[in-house]
Structure 1
Amino acid sequence: MLLNVNPLNNLLEKAYIPSSKPETQRAILAATLAQGKSVVRNDLRCLETTTMKEACRAIGAVITEQDGYLEIEGVGRNLRSNKRVIDALGSGLVFRVFSAITSFSNTPEIITGDKILRGRVMAPLFDALDQLGAKVSHIAEQGQAPVVNWGGGFEGGRCVIPGNVSSQFITAIMFAAPLAAKPTEIEIVGEILSISYIKQTIQALEIAGIQVECSDNFSVITVYPGEYQPAEYAISGDYTSSSYVIGAAALYPGKTILQNMSLVSLQGEKAILDVVEKLGIEISFDEQLQELTLINNQGTLSGEFEFDASDYPNIVPTLAAIGAYVEGTFRVIGGSITRLHKSPRIKAMVSELQKMGVDIQPLFKDGVYDGFEIHGKAQYEGGLELSSWGDHRIFMSLFIASLRCKTANQLEGYADVICSFPDFFTEFERLGAKFTETNGQGEVKKEA
């Protein structure tokens, strides 16, 4: 099934932004590893946070969903399996963290995932766990999911992880490390990308009472043995999800208000605000009301711009969608890590936007996709069928890029928004977007 995304003439005023996925997932993990009851307020409920909750329940956590918050009765060090198979589905974070923390299970655990996840790079995490003394076996392909963690724990010590593949490897070791008998030193070698996610992990651990030391450049992180303490976590709005609404607001004159937003955030993707400010969008916050207001007094976007996305890779596809409409030059670099996400995201956006007629060329670093350069224009013809490449963030970015085409584009992969932004279509309907579900042969199945 495909989604016809019709041209949008103007953007209406208000949208509600979902809560942060990475903050919610980390809070659920920390609460699970504490002995006693924790509360996670303003949590995000989507496929990937549900997957995290189910994985935590599989090791004994009792998680109760209340209106606006979670109550979590954690297991502390007593990881008691009741399933023996933990299915991470498409969540890289769930797979990676549980591959590490099940080192401290009393019984063997199988950790698996869907077809896309089973093809993703995991070897650096397994190498680090091996250096620490964990016992992990590969069921199919060496260095990939699924695996068996035989449990029995590891003492601590030193491991080495590359900094330019996935910060989730580092997060996984950090969450497991407090359960070890000795301090765990993580040496991060090479270029370190996505530092904001490491900062979010440190924050979650420290709220739970875990001692963490970090060098100024994040090349060495030491996590000390300790007991996770029950705590209360307050989750803020998700800046990656907000980027789609902010991107649309940058394309249309007028005022747009985003609810559930806070300026106080460690999320690197908060840089979307810097990007659109440089494009000429006015921004103001009401922290008490948790509202972000964007005022766009421009009919068109133009200028010469370059952005380094090395600490905000999740909005690289959104930046491509915005850049398609910037007359001048719009360059993004530092996105090499996105080649290892759910899809090779730069390659995907370059390919699909070129179909639209966008003058976009990939930029390479050390032989891999690192960014792109766009010479945009105010509008495109549209009337094309575009692919999401099996990636919810590619779909949502192409949705934004399609809004200013002259005729509707057809996009596949729309069901995947449940991974991170379940109310995506509801919020864009509120903003005035129109779209129809079709069978790809012109027959309308559902209209919004």
Structure 2
Amino acid sequence: MDLKLKAETFVSGKEITISGSKSESNRLLILQQLYPSLQIENLSDSDDTHHLQEALSSSSNAADIGHAGTAMRFLTAFFATQEGVIKVLQGSDRMHNRPIEILVNALRDLGAEIAYVEKEGYPPLKITGKKLTQSKVSINGNVSSQYISALMLIAPSLQNGLEIELVGKITSVPYINMTLQLLHQLEIEANFKGQIIKIAPKSTIKEQTIVVESDWSSVSYFYSIIALSEIGSSVKLSAYKKDSLQGDSCLEEIYKNFGVTTTFEENTILLTKEKKHNSEVFEQDLKNAPDIAQTIAVTCFGLGIACDLSGLHTLKIKETDRLEALREELTKLGADISVTNESLHLKSSSKIKKNIQIATYNDHRMAMAFAPLALKVPIEILEAEVVTKSYRSFWEHMDVVGIKNEEIK
């Protein structure tokens, strides 16, 4: 499905409810398998979460998780601990080209039995669940935090708990802390000091319900919309809280640079465009929140300001090579942009080409990040249905705020 987007008038003052955080939901679903007395409310309605739920509930010896990288990593660790269970984990063509060797090696060090079905170092995987008795493992700290979180989530179910040594520079710390805080909510003894994460074993937890906060990555597109709108424009979103576990909540501070203020009310945030952006060049290290890089780059382009974004090395192995995808699509719109293996550099420009077709590369964030540009010029989004990976109601919500979408026949 290809869509033509056009925004004749931004509709200010609307209130929108966004489903639960994919990151929190997927972590809690793994923990719920280990501790069935845990109840979860406001789960994400994303494809990724649906794939994870299906894989956990299916009695089949094979699970197809599509493009869901989080599901692949968390399930690899989970099924490795399930004695007597043999599971083949497979996914899309892109998933079969996303490396998983670092996690597999760490699990093998703990005693796991995991075999590569096709290509060494990549899914599909054949996992034979067994009791893991080793209690110490090392893993590079600058890899995807999902590898580290996968180990943390299974740690309390291991007979002797787990000590994880993070080697070298550590990136995506907020996501590690999110996993840590969720363990704490279940009263599991866990700490993260220096380069060491220690998690104690725990066989049972008391009955409890955790309500998942709405997804901050999803709200980034509304920050972009307000930043690209007229002064006085606003939108209210729920359900959010000021003391969020999600690393992307740094959006509140980042978008102050683009004139957007965030007002926290009871379970909601009000985004308001209060002034013009305050700089001609925006610089930010996004090592702790790489998933919002696409949104920020498009915002800066739409505002006509330069930006230098760093800490983006993990974007090379996402649903697509997001740095190259951004370079390609922004260039089509008239941008002067260059990328390295870990950074993006955009020069200021005052003109945006109209009616450009934006390729999405099977990447939900490419589709959503470029949508706000419809406030500036008509734009076309190819394979727009890809948004369901994380945000099923995205195009409906765009319509609510005045970004109309029409299917291209």
Give the TM-score band, short-chain normalised: over 0.9
> How far is the alpha carbon of 1:304 from its aligned partner?
2.6
CA offsets 1:352-394 (integer angstroms, 9 cap, x no match): 00110012222x3xxx2x2222233455131211101110001
Q: How does 1:49-198 map to 2 (within 5 A)?
A: 49-58=49-58, 82-105=59-82, 106-198=84-176
Q: Which residue of 1 aligns with 2:358?
A: 386
Q: Which residue of 1 aligns with 2:312?
A: 335
Residue identity matched to 1:270:
S
The 1:378/1:12 distance shift into structure 2, 3 A limit, reads farther
- For residues 392 and 216 of structure 2, the distance between their equivalents in structure 1, rounded to whole angstroms, comes to 15
Determine which of 257, 264, 280 is the counterpart of 1:278.
257
Residue identity matched to 1:102:
F
Contact persistence 2:72–2:89 (CA under 8 A): yes
Which secondary structure state, in structure 1, belongs to the residue aligned with residue 343 of structure 2?
strand
Contact persistence 1:165–1:340 (CA under 8 A): no
Contact persistence 2:308–2:345 (CA under 8 A): yes
Which secondary structure state, in structure 1, belongs to the residue aligned with residue 142 of structure 2?
coil
Q: How does 1:257-276 map to 2 (within 5 A)?
A: 257-276=236-255
Contact persistence 2:227–2:299 (CA under 8 A): yes
The TM-score with structure 2 as length reference comes to 0.94
The TM-score with structure 1 as length reference comes to 0.86
Contact persistence 1:252–1:299 (CA under 8 A): no
Which secondary structure state, in structure 2, belongs to the residue aligned with residue 421 of structure 1?
coil
RMSD between aligned alpha carbons? 1.8
Which secondary structure state, in structure 1, belongs to the residue aligned with residue 287 of structure 2?
coil
Q: How does 1:333-372 map to 2 (within 5 A)?
A: 333-362=310-339, 364=340, 368=341, 370-372=342-344
Which secondary structure state, in structure 2, belongs to the residue aligned with residue 137 of structure 1?
strand
Contact persistence 1:249–1:296 (CA under 8 A): yes
Matched, 1:431 2:401: yes
Q: Which residue of 2 aligns with 1:445?
A: none
Matched, 1:208 2:191: no
Q: Which residue of 2 aligns with 1:30?
A: 31
CA offsets 1:246-272 (integer angstroms, 9 cap, x no match): 111110022222232221202111111
> How far is the alpha carbon of 1:12 from its aligned partner?
2.3
> How far is the alpha carbon of 1:401 from its aligned partner?
2.8
CA offsets 1:299-350 (integer angstroms, 9 cap, x no match): 6775232111110111011011101023443221111111111111121111
The 1:430/1:274 distance shift into structure 2, 3 A limit, reads same
The 1:298/1:433 distance shift into structure 2, 3 A limit, reads same
Residue identity matched to 1:415:
E
Q: Which residue of 1 aligns with 2:385?
A: 415
Name the count of aligned residue pairs: 404
- For residues 211 and 335 of structure 2, the distance between their equivalents in structure 1, rounded to whole angstroms, comes to 41
- For residues 356 and 212 of structure 1, the distance between their equivalents in structure 2, rounded to whole angstroms, comes to 48
Contact persistence 2:6–2:379 (CA under 8 A): yes
Q: Which residue of 1 aligns with 2:203?
A: 227
The 1:89/1:225 distance shift into structure 2, 3 A limit, reads same
Structure 1 stretches of at least 4 aligned residues deviating more than 3 Å after TM superposition:
297-302, 376-379
Which secondary structure state, in structure 1, belongs to the residue aligned with residue 280 of structure 2?
strand
> How far is the alpha carbon of 1:4 from its aligned partner?
0.8
- For residues 353 and 165 of structure 1, the distance between their equivalents in structure 2, rounded to whole angstroms, comes to 27
> How far is the alpha carbon of 1:13 from its aligned partner?
2.0
The 1:326/1:190 distance shift into structure 2, 3 A limit, reads farther
Contact persistence 1:326–1:375 (CA under 8 A): no
Residue identity matched to 2:345:
E
> How far is the alpha carbon of 1:283 from its aligned partner?
2.3
Q: Which residue of 1 aligns with 2:371?
A: 399
Residue identity matched to 1:32:
Q
- For residues 152 and 268 of structure 1, the distance between their equivalents in structure 2, rounded to whole angstroms, comes to 33
> How far is the alpha carbon of 1:102 from its aligned partner?
1.5
Unaligned runs of 5+ in 2: none
Unaligned runs of 5+ in 1: 59-81, 440-448
Q: Which residue of 1 aligns with 2:284?
A: 307
- For residues 383 and 183 of structure 2, the distance between their equivalents in structure 1, rounded to whole angstroms, comes to 35
- For residues 108 and 435 of structure 1, the distance between their equivalents in structure 2, rounded to whole angstroms, comes to 45
Percent of aligned positions with the same letter in both sequences?
A: 24
